[in-house]
Structure 1
Amino acid sequence: MKKIFATWLLLTVATFLFAQTKVENIINAKEVERIERVLASDEMKGRRVFSPEIDKAADFIAAEFKAAGLESWNNSGTYRQEFTILTPRFKGLTCSFDQQAVDAKNVVVITTSGSLTINEKSGYEKVKLSAGVNLFTEAQKYIRSGKNYVVLVDTSYSKNFGRLTGFKRGMFPMKNNVVFVLTTVDPSTYSIEAQHEITEQKLSNVVGIIPGKSKKDEYVIFSGHYDHIGIGKPVDGDSIFNGANDDAAGTTAVIMLAKYYKALNNNERTIIFAAFTAEESGGYGAQYFSKQFDPAKVAAMFNIEMIGTESKWGKNSAYITGYEKTDMGAIMQKNLEGTGFTFHPDPYTDQNLFYRSDNATLARLGVPAHTISTSKMDSEPNYHKVSDEVETLDMDNMAMIIKSIALSARSIVAGKDSPTRVKVEELR
């Protein structure tokens, strides 16, 4: 009987070890290269937003999610998370303060309505934007407030005032309107009429999930952006910005992690795998995504960007942006004890990388959201160049980085660790 039990025990352990080995081997250099070569191929023409090729990339990612066995977001039946971007094109404007005409070049109207007519009786709050603050930060607060404003902008901002039109380059549908007027006058009466031609365009993230076993309403996000900058000025006959590292590498990691965690099949928290669109043109994909759930339910976000080359420390290393803002990096490193892999704090803080990727959108909502990267941003030879090709990437090192992300996240996915929240009031 003892001999039978011992034999059974050995077989059980062997089966378990084989299963674990099989799962660990899901993330491998050959598979990483296969995915990279599709996403960063010349046929994708740089995956520019609103191009047919970015739709091809989205279809490919969705097919990989389906093959991995992921479920669709909210049981929608599709991995595409589609949304609309509006672009208002200025057609005409008249403005008067106390019955005196105001030059149209000193007025910027932020709206998604084709026609806007208001006066002092329209219920708009009139506020002053005084000298000495950041014009664009303050303007953004009013635009995102959901309230109607007439903002009297101090003339000390005259040099940069026209740049406020940049807020109209791509917009989500707005319920509010904000009128900025460069002026020294605080009028008792005013009249403003504006006309815009509104263009609608569709974009889509690609999102799949693995529901949690015991904590379904707590989320862990793995993300990367799948768009790039398309086709540009030829260099040595090559005009395609393939974006192999930026950020086909991050998207490849998301696909690999989806397959890994689906095979592991032990996540207590729900895992969301998101390939964002339009990171390069304003972060619209992450912005839309962040509005689809309660951010308080997101335990952590692992955003992955440009991991295809060695970091400044060499192999078996990467860095985490905003490392000091939560204890997520410390948790990740704890889970990697004995592996020889190290996650370092971001060494390029002067470049504000924490605020330049899709993690920033969720971090501003308090989510422990960080970007993992290896890119040497002070000397990156292929960043936003046609030379960002698959051949410049180290597939073995990239596979090791993805494995390390998977291992480092396990206790968070299991619901055993919860990183501290980002202190929103301390963000710029």
Structure 2
Amino acid sequence: MKKSISIFLLLGQIVFGQEKFNIQKEEVKRIESELSSDKMQGREIFTSGIDSASIFIEKEFKKIGLSNYGDLKNYRQEFVVKGKQANNVIGVLLGKSKPNEFVIFSAHYDHLGLKNSGDDKVYNGANDDASGVTAVITLAKYFKELNENERTIIFVAFTGEEVGGFGSKYFTQGINPDTVIAMFNIEMIGTESKWGKNSAYITGFEKSDFGKILQKNLKDSNFSFNPDPYPTEQLFYRSDNARLAAVGVPAHTISTSKMDSEPNYHQLSDEISTLDLDNMSEIIKSIAISSKSIINGMDTPSRVEKL
């Protein structure tokens, strides 16, 4: 069984039980290439570069056919930060039997912007976090085509993570946390984890049984989710999951970033050429597989203790 699944993964299509998981590397590369391109100018909040990134994500959500969130008229959740306009990008896939129970897939689309001088001035942020946004868009397309989600899925690209988590803060203020069943926040999945290929870690693993549910759903695959190996880094509180986790939601971040030895982290060198797109595609497929029982309403992760 493990050998068969591995072969299907390499071919870009995994058969899990009676379901087909069709997530293609070519599509992952297309989205990642656009988000981390120089024309996005490093996607710094309050710049034309992040506006370009927002427009791209909005177009992808529209092409997929996602619905608007709440009473929004489009995919932009706009708000003001320090007197300046900013926006999250949100799309929704309505659940069939449990539409008022929400599962969130998220990533932040902002990055560091431009350096003042030098031949290379663009902080492309290919891994941080164009890789996560690429996963969110790819998963939105996958779940839309699968059309089997019993719970409503909310796909969010947050802004302002790099400067204080403003996007996730605003989003959290506007949603009843009791209605959020789980949050899959995806942060830096473009490089191999410390365990090598076909593996990732989950921050705050011990704070709920979210990770154990994901592991259970992956038991017949060749992929493994592991507890966060960098506890001193306090990663559970350093990404966009933290705002919802603080109010009790089993909100966790999935990552592969080697925080003790990631040479391109917050560097100009964080470009698409440094990513392992094959492995990244496998991670996205495995997130899809691991979320199956939560999306379908079969499993409900335990709550995180409120801060």
2:68 corresponds, among 69, 72, 81, to 72
- Retained in 2: the 8 A contact 1:47–1:229? yes
Alpha-carbon distance, 1:53 to partner: 1.2
Alpha-carbon distance, 1:337 to partner: 1.1
Q: In the alignment, what sits opposite 2:189?
A: 307
Paired amino acid for 1:40:
S
- State how far apart, in whole Å, the 1-side matches of 2:129 and 2:199 are: 18
- State how far apart, in whole Å, the 1-side matches of 2:168 and 2:45 are: 14
Q: In the alignment, what sits opposite 2:52?
A: 56
Paired amino acid for 2:216:
K
Residue 115 of structure 2 aligns to a residue in which SS? strand
Alpha-carbon distance, 1:76 to partner: 2.5
- State how far apart, in whole Å, the 2-side matches of 1:34 and 1:18 are: 20
- State how far apart, in whole Å, the 2-side matches of 1:211 and 1:292 are: 18
Identity of aligned residues (%): 59
Larger strand proportion of the pair: 1
Superposed counterparts of 1:158-197, under 5 Å:
none
Unaligned runs of 5+ in 2: 1-12
Structure 1 pair 251–18 and aligned structure 2 pair: CA distance change class (3 A): closer
Alpha-carbon distance, 1:26 to partner: 3.6
- State how far apart, in whole Å, the 2-side matches of 1:407 and 1:217 are: 22
- Retained in 2: the 8 A contact 1:28–1:396? no
Alpha-carbon distance, 1:287 to partner: 0.3
Q: Does residue 1:271 correspond to 2:153, yes or no?
A: yes
Structure 1 pair 347–215 and aligned structure 2 pair: CA distance change class (3 A): same
Alpha-carbon distance, 1:28 to partner: 1.4
CA deviation profile, 1:347-405 (whole Å, cap 9, x unmatched)? 00111111100000000010000000000000000000000000000111001000000
Residue 231 of structure 1 aligns to a residue in which SS? coil
- State how far apart, in whole Å, the 2-side matches of 1:374 and 1:63 are: 28
Q: In the alignment, what sits opposite 1:34?
A: 30
- Retained in 1: the 8 A contact 2:148–2:296? yes
Q: In the alignment, what sits opposite 1:284?
A: 166
Alpha-carbon distance, 1:77 to partner: 2.6
- State how far apart, in whole Å, the 1-side matches of 2:128 and 2:243 are: 19
Alpha-carbon distance, 1:48 to partner: 0.4
- Retained in 1: the 8 A contact 2:14–2:21? no
- Retained in 2: the 8 A contact 1:46–1:228? yes
Paired amino acid for 1:360:
A
- Retained in 1: the 8 A contact 2:104–2:184? yes
Q: In the alignment, what sits opposite 2:5?
A: none
- Retained in 2: the 8 A contact 1:26–1:259? no
Q: In the alignment, what sits opposite 1:339?
A: 221
Paired amino acid for 1:201:
K
Paired amino acid for 2:67:
E
Paired amino acid for 2:106:
S
Q: In the alignment, what sits opposite 1:409?
A: 291
- Retained in 2: the 8 A contact 1:24–1:260? no
- Retained in 1: the 8 A contact 2:183–2:252? yes
**In the comparison of the two structures, how many residue pairs are matched?**
294
Superposed counterparts of 1:17-416, under 5 Å:
24=20, 26-86=22-82, 200-234=83-117, 237-416=119-298
- Retained in 1: the 8 A contact 2:14–2:22? no
Q: In the alignment, what sits opposite 2:7?
A: none
Paired amino acid for 1:64:
E
- Retained in 1: the 8 A contact 2:15–2:21? no
**RMSD of the alignment, in Å?**
1.7
Residue 301 of structure 2 aligns to a residue in which SS? coil
Q: Could you tell me the TM-score, scaled by structure 2's length?
A: 0.93
The structure with the largest alpha-carbon Rg is 1
Q: Could you tell me the TM-score, scaled by structure 1's length?
A: 0.67
Unaligned runs of 5+ in 1: 1-16, 87-199
CA deviation profile, 1:278-329 (whole Å, cap 9, x unmatched)? 0001100000011111001100000000000000000000000000000000
Structure 1 pair 24–399 and aligned structure 2 pair: CA distance change class (3 A): farther
- Retained in 1: the 8 A contact 2:177–2:247? yes
Alpha-carbon distance, 1:232 to partner: 1.5
Structure 1 pair 409–25 and aligned structure 2 pair: CA distance change class (3 A): closer
CA deviation profile, 1:100-120 (whole Å, cap 9, x unmatched)? xxxxxxxxxxxxxxxxxxxxx
- State how far apart, in whole Å, the 2-side matches of 1:375 and 1:391 are: 16
